[in-house]
Amino acid sequence: MSLKKKLYYFDNNDQTIKCEEKIITIKLNTGFSESYESDNEIFEKIITNKFIKNKIYPPDVIVDSENKIYFENIKLCELLGQNSFLQEIKTSKLLLKKINNLLSNIEENLDFIESRLPSINKLELNIINIMKKYRKSHHEDWTVIYETLTNLRECINEFGYSDYHDFIYLNNKLVSLKKFFIIGDLNFLFFVNDFYKLNEFYNNISLPKKFISYLNNEIKDVDNFNNKSFMKTFDFVNDEFNQLIEKYNISA
């Protein structure tokens, strides 16, 4: 089905809102399909309908859209026309891909941390035993090794507990958001706002602060954290711990 509508869009070239009459093409559901549709294809149709229901028209339903996102009224265009996050998810395919990619990245980090939790717990126990032994014996090296041991334990706690909690939280919230948006009646604009917040939360999950301060000259890019960054964290803590053991001839 095709129809003509007067639609608005934000022109980035001269930073103004413009109005054009555009042809909208909408695929009708005939009740049967000649070929099997994947879950993603079904989800994309549902998401496209949610765009249109909220008077937002993705480029893939507009003839000669020039990859622009259009709005049915000027107020909505004023509100969302310059929204950079909406531009990243301006079609159902882009939106679904961004959700799934984020879920995949979160899962990858969770798998990595979970596989190392036993080693992390053992390493923390060793550090605590050394601190206890040197503190109680009033060992002459206690004041020297105290700061390194404390920093290593803080690093372990943030890596194994704080960051793990953040990723579990993100996974739960994003899975729920996707479910209630696609098969529920969650408002499209509420969804965009919540998805943006979760995406920003993911981008701002920090590696242990002590770790960053140790390796500030070696890590050039800490904007997008993934399991490779956590690998560096874990390896670094182990290396520091082993060097400390060797340097001071420590036995827990």
Domain assignments of the chain as residue spans, ordered by start = 2-82, 95-248
Q: Please give the pLDDT value at position 251.
A: 61
pLDDT digit string, tens, across residues 185-224: 888 999 999 999 999 999 887 555 555 555 444 444 444 4
Q: Please give the pLDDT value at position 216.
A: 47
Q: Which two tokens stand for residue 40?
A: 């993603």
Q: Which two tokens stand for residue 104?
A: 């995949």
Dihedral angle computed from the Cα positions of residues 48, 53, 55 and 57, in that order, rounded to the nearest 10 degrees: 10
Q: Please give the pLDDT value at position 228.
A: 59
- The answer to whether the CB of 84 falls within 8 A of the CB of 12 is no
Question: Residues near 80 by Cβ (< 8 Å), separated by ≥ 6?
Answer: 56, 71, 86
Regions of the chain where pLDDT drops below 70: 28-36, 206-234, 248, 250-252
Phi first, then psi: give them for residue 17, nearest 5 degrees.
Answer: -90, 130
Q: Please give the pLDDT value at position 221.
A: 43
In 10 A of CB 235, how many CB atoms?
A: 10
Q: Please give the pLDDT value at position 219.
A: 41
Round to whole Å and give the CA distance between 244 and 163: 25
Q: Does the predicted model carry a pTM greater than 0.75?
A: yes
Where do the H-state alpha helices sit in the chain? 39-53, 74-80, 84-88, 92-136, 142-157, 163-182, 188-203, 209-214, 227-248
Round to whole Å and give the CA distance between 83 and 89: 10
Amino acid at 16: T
Round to whole Å and give the CA distance between 55 and 74: 11
- The answer to whether the CB of 83 falls within 8 A of the CB of 9 is no
Residue 67, CA distances (Å) to 48, 58, 59 in order: 15, 8, 5
In the sheet with 2-11, reading across from the earlier edge strand, the strands are: 16-25, 2-11, 70-71, 56-57
